[in-house]
Every structure is written in structure tokens, then in C-alpha cells.
Amino acid sequence: MYDCTHGKTDTPLTSHNTISRQTKQISQNAATSRESSSSHLRHNDPLRRQRIIEACLEVIATKGVNGTTHRAVAAAANVPLGSTTYYFSSINDLIYRSFEYFMIQSADTFQNRMKRAKTQTQAIDAIIGTITDDLLSTQQSLAVNLELYAAAAHDARYRNITTQWMAKTQHALQLHFDARTAQLIDDVIEGATIRRAMSHPLPSIEETRAEARDALSRLLPPSETHQAKSTK
């Protein structure tokens, strides 16, 4: 109805304050729903953290440490961007945990190889297998290895990982060799890995295997290497 005196309708209008309160409540309800849904997904996806770590290693291998971001890792893991920050306090924390996981997996694999070896001859074969079948088995494994070396050269936190790795490796080697020999064999393992990565053209796995065996034959007592060669 139109009021001729004042030129205004006398039909009551909805209060702006009421609309504002309703809009705010809708937004809060939506946010609560999203948070609840996200929490539900996290609780029902216990392997998500592991997928993020493995995806981080893929990104490190292809883009390097400097090119590794939350967004790149989330895309590689096929998870929401917020998942990477939920599980890891920063990108540095994510990279560190990923390198740590890589080290533990590699060290455990080597330790299992050395435990299965019953003689020094079998131990030598296991060492060569570690170089050619584990550390150099894929381009990703090799690239992550080198990125860890580079990171350790500049950051003491990553040197903590490489120090632990060397300690675990040498401890496993001491199942078959004395401490000094174990240290020297570890040097051969590291050197063979780096040399192959830096060579052009890239040596074949067979060439790397032959070079590793030759290096060990020069390092170890003749009786040990003679036994190793006689099994071939």
C-alpha cells in the first residue's frame, strides 16, 4: 500500500540485520559441514600420509628439492592441497620426512640382504646387488639419492639422515666384515652410485656391476674375492 502523505509503502521490509544473521549462520553451517567432511575423510584414509610422502619423493626426483612445493606434491598424490599441511607443518618438514622414509627403506632392504647372506662370498654378491638392483634400479631412486646428498651438503638436518644411513649400512656390513673394511665397502657403494649418475654416456648396469666387483676385489683379501669369483 502506498502512503500518499510520505510517499513510502507501509509494507514491512525484512531487516538487514536479520538477513545478515541468516547469511552468517548459513556460512558457519557450510564451514562446519566441510570441516566435518574433511575430518571424516582423513580418519577413513589412514594411508594418505604415506601416499603424500611417496608422492613427495616423486616430485623431488623430477623437480629437485627446490622445485618441491605443497601444490606439486598434492597433485602428485591426488589429494586436496590442505592434506599436505594437515600432516606436515611445512614443506621443509615434508621433504625431511620423505628423505627419512627413503633412508629407512633403503637401509632396511640392505640389512635384509646382508642377513640372508651366510658367507662373505654371498655378502659380496649382496653388496653388488644393492648397488645395481636397489640404489640404481630406477631413475627415481638414483635422483632422490643424489638430491639427498646435495641437501646434506648444505643443511645439517639432512646430514643427520645421511649419517644414520651410513651407520645402518656399516652395522649391516659388520655381520661379515670388520669395522674398517665395512667403512671402506660403504665408500665403494656410495662412490659407485655417484659415478654412474655423473657419467655420460650412462654406464649399463652390467658395466656398473663389473666395476663394483673389481673395486671389491681390490679392497678385500684375495681368499674372499677368489671365492666370490668362483661362484660366478
Q: What is the pLDDT of residues 165-220, one digit of tens each?
A: 999 999 999 999 999 999 999 999 998 888 888 888 888 888 889 999 999 999 98
- Give the pLDDT confidence score for residue 5 in this predicted structure: 47
Domains of the chain: 1-44 (no CATH), 96-230 (1.10.357.10)
- Give the pLDDT confidence score for residue 29 in this predicted structure: 54
- Give the pLDDT confidence score for residue 153 in this predicted structure: 95
- Give the pLDDT confidence score for residue 196 in this predicted structure: 81
- Give the pLDDT confidence score for residue 31 in this predicted structure: 46
pLDDT band at 27 (very low <50, low <70, confident <90, very high): low
Q: How far is CA 167 from CA 20, 60, 76, 171, in A?
A: 64, 24, 32, 6
Three-class SS string for 145-198? HHHHHHHHHHCHHHHHHHHHHHHHHHHHHCCCCCHHHHHHHHHHHHHHHHHHHH
- Give the pLDDT confidence score for residue 21 in this predicted structure: 60
- Give the pLDDT confidence score for residue 2 in this predicted structure: 44
- Give the pLDDT confidence score for residue 37 in this predicted structure: 44
pLDDT band at 33 (very low <50, low <70, confident <90, very high): very low
